[in-house]
Structure 1
Amino acid sequence: MISGGFSAALDKLAPEYSDSHGDTLKIVHGPSMGRSPQAIPNRLARGEKADVVIMVGYALDGLIKQGKIMPGTRTELADSRIGAVVRAGDAKPDIASVEALRQTLLNAKSVAWSDSASGRYVQDTLLNQLGVKQALSQRGQMVERVPVASQVASGKYQIGFQQVSELLPVKGVTFIGKIPESVQKVTRFAGAVPANAEHADEAKALLRYLASKEVQSQVRATGLDSVPAT
């Protein structure tokens, strides 16, 4: 089970892993948190089984505290930053500085963000920091379940914010860039083995592979950042 942020990396790496290790990977997608039935914690709570979960790190911590994760199996995989897109063909607004980002939001006809980690930060923290939350009360919207970029591509919203790795795979949009580092929210993605996993050894091997130095160039190509060395 995997949430959106690391999905593009896993999709890229899964065929090579299956060929070299002889394991078949069945990938099930769902948010790291939230009320939707597809959310990974809700799937596990219903008794759905998985050998590996890959999700936002602090959401994974919640599962660890609940005893739903095999002790000692948390594996750090990548860091994800927030970026923005506009519909393909539209002019790219300036978000390179904090003030430019603020003005872009104030000038936008409509703005969307996700219902996962990045969108919660945008809605609860970033808009307040920029002093634009009230101005966007009628023009801003949290998008549930579907990729924000797909809604921008359809013309429903003028600009969309989500983790870069979730924006880049969507066709019909132009990637503007990452929001400034001084107001950036870095989200850690990590994997672990559920307590009731039926193939725990194979699961641990997959996580070691996804965290290995050998695959970091492919991981970074999807818009993620490698975990800093400790």
Structure 2
Amino acid sequence: MFKRSVAAAIAVAAFSSLLLVAAVPSPAQAADIELLGPVSLRVVLPGLLPQFEESSGHKITVGYATLGAITKRLVEGEAVDVAMVSPEQNEELQKRGKLMAGSRAEIARVGFTVFVRKGAPKPDVGSVDALKLALLAAKSIVLGDPAAGGGAGVYTAGLMERLGLAADIKARTKLVKSGTEVAEAVAKGEAEIGIGVASDAAIVPGLDAFPLPTGAQSYSVYVAGVSSGSKQVDAAKALIVFLTSPASKQALKANGFETP
């Protein structure tokens, strides 16, 4: 009886060891994954990705750019494994054969806010009309440059046209490459008011932020997809699963993003 118990215990231990070995990728299985993501996710990904690397054994190299730049780089054939763009850009890249069909997953979305320097008078942006008056009264404004291809710049340029403000504010408006630079310019006192994405308030100190009103609000939506040229498809898919996990969603929400 004792011999059978010892033998059973040894068998269980051996089986448990096999499970452990199977759960942790061997050096031969570990992959190097290239990820391209939007600039606004710089506030979240550096803290999240090491968790994935530790649990999976894979290594992630991240590049940040505007959504337009990411799309352009994929169209031109840059070798990546996972790319985050807008839903429309993801669809177009699938049609061009640059992203794998069926690999799309929504990661997060982020709304737009009005930035002023911390301690400055609070602007009234509770309605579209109030927002227009606040922008017309501002001595200096900073917005994203739509020519850079960033979601914030493209949207705010369209919003200014729709509100009939583009010509009136042009002489007082400074254009910068990204939404993060909008927030930084306001925090440094280089502009009185700016419009950028809400998540930038979490990484740029010295700001007060107020959401755009209904009728002017919109969201930048980020979806991930696996590159058709990826040689690490399984690892790339595992990364996307991780980015949609409860832990990732919690980190995103803590930094001003909304998740599906």
- Normalization by structure 2: what TM-score? 0.77
2:29 aligned partner: none
Residues 57-206 of structure 1: pairs in structure 2 closer than 5 A: 57-115=87-145, 116-124=150-158, 126-145=159-178, 147-171=181-205, 173-206=206-239
For 2:41, the aligned partner's letter is: F
Q: Contact 1:168–1:223 (CA<8 Å) still a contact in 2?
A: yes
- In the alignment of these two chains, the number of paired residues is 220
Q: Aligned letter for 2:174?
A: Q
2:166 is paired with a residue whose SS is coil
SS of residue matched to 2:207: strand
Matched, 1:17 2:17: no
Q: Deviations over 1:181-227 (max 9, x none)?
A: 32211221100111111211111111111112343221111111112
**Structure 2 residue corresponding to 1:28, chosen from 60, 63, 70:** 63
Instruction: Say yes or no: does 1:6 pair with 2:6.
Output: no
Q: Equivalent residue of 2:241, what SS?
A: helix
Equivalent in the alignment of 2:23: none
Query: Whose RCO is larger (CA < 8 A, sep 6+)?
Result: 1
Q: Distance in 2 between matches of 1:80 and 1:137?
A: 26
- The alignment partner of 2:66 has SS state of coil
Aligned-partner Cα distance in 2 for 1:14–1:175: 29
Amino acid paired to 1:12: G
Q: 1:56 to 1:142 in 2, by over 3 A?
A: farther
In structure 1, distance between residues paired with 2:98 and 2:247: 30
Distance 1:110 1:14 in 2: 38
Per-residue deviation, 1:138: 1.0
Mean CA deviation greater in 105-114 or 137-146: 137-146
Q: Secondary structure at the match of 1:195?
A: coil
* Matched residue SS, 2:171: coil
Shift of 1:148: 1.4
1:32 CA displacement: 0.7
Taking the aligned partners of 1:56 and 1:167, their CA distance within structure 2 comes to 21
Structure 2 unaligned runs (5+)? 1-35
Q: 1:212 to 1:199 in 2, by over 3 A?
A: same
Aligned sequence identity (%): 30
TM-score normalised to the size of structure 1? Answer: 0.87
User: How large is the RMSD of aligned CA atoms in angstroms?
Assistant: 1.9
1:43-77 per-position Cα deviation (integer Å, ceiling 9, x unaligned): 23443211111122222222122110012111111
Unaligned 5+ runs, structure 1: 34-38
Q: Is the 8 A contact 1:93 1:176 kept in 2?
A: no
1:40 equivalent in alignment to 2:70? yes
